[in-house]
């Protein structure tokens, strides 16, 4: 959305479309806030800037280091000889989230002339969810797989009894939050130990490892979804860790995500979804705590 629209939001066309959608939603029994309908879920620029300013004001040098991305250990040796698709399936298995039926439909391996990007597409909001990727050895590709499959499991768990128009994330930032959060599992100490070294997690271990670089993916157009998605990712990450102790090897983590984040689809506004999942409105606090961890 161009910046100048901040002062005249919503535009007349959006307002008109929202009115039509609100009327249709009410007919279907959903009493939605006019300003928060999917078509009007394009983010208000002032709200985006307020949140990002709040995060930036308090961010420490660690943020800068994270953005530069050179403060992290090289996972290369640990990943040598490992298949990133198998690691992804195992990571999601540990959370009790089935991915094989999704990967059966996926186009994962590189071939000449293939789209070089990676993305997930919910074709029909009825189970035909497809991931495209170009899986290669190494951490970057593992991040991509964990990320795209994160989108896929989200789509897969949206309540199919919802009306079609609501059977999707309420706003791109919500699905990016999930994908970013689960992409970061590759840096979770429990994942490194359990999945890559084949060792079992010691009982009672609760060490968090939220600090990780900001991943601005290659998808164009909606970078603010990644930035706000990061805020939501850290907030949901903290809520899951507080509720069930972590992600790796914990089906309760998958159940938490499926019930509190995925299932509501767009029947809740994105702001309402954040409160529903984490107990408070979206803010920079968990993100900042994660950077300082
Ligand atoms: Zn994504």
Q: Where are the domains of the chain?
A: 1-42, 44-98+137-292
Of 98-107, 123-132, 211-220, where does mean pLDDT reach its minimum? 211-220
Of 60-74, 172-186, 257-271, where does mean pLDDT reach its minimum? 60-74
Question: What is the CATH code for 44-98+137-292?
Answer: 1.10.1370.30
Residues of the chain with pLDDT > 90, as a percent, come to: 47
| Ligand 1 centroid, distance to 175 Cα (angstroms) | 7
Angle at 254 between CA 168 and CA 291, to 5 degrees: 90
Digit-coded pLDDT (tens) for 170-194: 888 999 999 999 999 998 888 877 7
The dihedral of CA 17, 22, 24, 25: what is its sign? Answer: positive
Task: Tell me which of 75 and 275 has the higher pLDDT.
Answer: 275
Q: Which long-range contacts (CB under 8 A, 24 or more apart) does 204-210 make?
A: 206/241, 206/245, 206/246, 208/241, 208/290, 208/293, 209/293, 210/184, 210/234, 210/237, 210/238, 210/289, 210/290, 210/291, 210/293
| Ligand 1 centroid, distance to 179 Cα (angstroms) | 6
| Ligand 1 centroid, distance to 8 Cα (angstroms) | 29
Which residues line ion ligand 1, judged by CB < 5 Å? 179
| Ligand 1 centroid, distance to 280 Cα (angstroms) | 24
Average pLDDT on 137-147 reads 95
| Ligand 1 centroid, distance to 293 Cα (angstroms) | 24
Average pLDDT on 142-152 reads 97
Digit-coded pLDDT (tens) for 81-93: 899 999 999 999 9
Average pLDDT on 189-218 reads 55
| Residue matched to tokens 């530069």 | 68
Range 182-201 burial, b when 16+ CB lie within 10 A, else e: bbbbbbbebbbbbbbeeeeb
């Amino acid at each position: 959305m161009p910046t100048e629209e901040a002062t005249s939001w919503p535009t007349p066309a959006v307002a008109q479309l929202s009115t039509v959608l609100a009327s249709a939603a009410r007919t279907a029994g959903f009493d939605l806030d006019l300003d928060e309908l999917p078509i009007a879920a394009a983010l208000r620029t002032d709200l985006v800037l307020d949140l990002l300013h709040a995060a930036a004001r308090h961010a420490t040098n660690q943020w800068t280091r994270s953005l530069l991305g050179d403060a992290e250990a090289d996972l290369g040796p640990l990943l040598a000889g490992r298949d990133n698709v198998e690691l992804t399936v195992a990571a999601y298995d540990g959370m009790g989230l089935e991915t094989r039926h999704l990967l059966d439909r996926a186009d994962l391996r590189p071939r000449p002339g293939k789209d070089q990007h990676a993305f997930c597409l919910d074709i029909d909001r009825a189970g035909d969810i497809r991931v495209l990727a170009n899986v290669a050895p190494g951490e970057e590709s593992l991040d991509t797989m964990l990320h795209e499959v994160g989108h896929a499991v989200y789509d897969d768990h949206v309540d199919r009894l919802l009306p079609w128009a609501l059977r999707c994330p309420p706003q791109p930032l919500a699905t990016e939050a999930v994908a970013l959060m689960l992409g970061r599992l590759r840096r979770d100490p429990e994942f490194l130990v359990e999945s890559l070294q084949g060792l079992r997690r010691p009982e009672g271990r609760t060490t968090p490892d939220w600090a990780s670089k900001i991943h601005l993916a290659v998808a164009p157009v909606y970078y603010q979804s990644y930035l706000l998605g990061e805020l939501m990712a850290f907030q949901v990450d903290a809520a899951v860790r507080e509720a069930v102790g972590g992600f790796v090897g914990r089906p309760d983590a998958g159940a938490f995500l499926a019930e509190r984040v995925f299932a509501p689809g767009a029947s809740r506004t994105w702001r309402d979804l954040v409160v529903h999942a984490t107990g408070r409105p979206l803010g920079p606090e968990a993100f900042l705590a994660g950077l300082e961890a």
